[in-house]
Structure 1
């Protein structure tokens, strides 16, 4: 299950993209709030998946 260590970084990539998208929308007349909300959720998911992977790894080491 080594892929769990790498998939959590996909959320950071999505967060970076949506932050960039939100900043670009600030320069136009479009509303950037949805992009920023999705970026915040992606950062939250990164930390959630990271803690889940750590718990999963600790549980396998104790077994």
Structure 2
């Protein structure tokens, strides 16, 4: 399960993308970008959750 170490960083990329989109929507003034920032915040939370479980998985494998 080596891919778990790298998939957590996809969430950071998603967060950066949605923050960028939210800022561009604010500057346009046409749309309300709250959904973009909510998705970015959830992506950051998911990054930390995945990181925690990946570390827990690695520590479990080291003990065996």
TM-score, structure 2 length as denominator? 0.95
Aligned length: 63
CA distance in 1, matches of 2:3, 2:54: 10
Moved over 3 A (4+): none
Gaps of 5+ in 1: none
Gaps of 5+ in 2: none
- Map Cα deviations across residues 16-39 of structure 1 (whole Å, 9 max, x no partner): 000000001101220110000000
C-alpha RMSD over aligned residues: 0.5
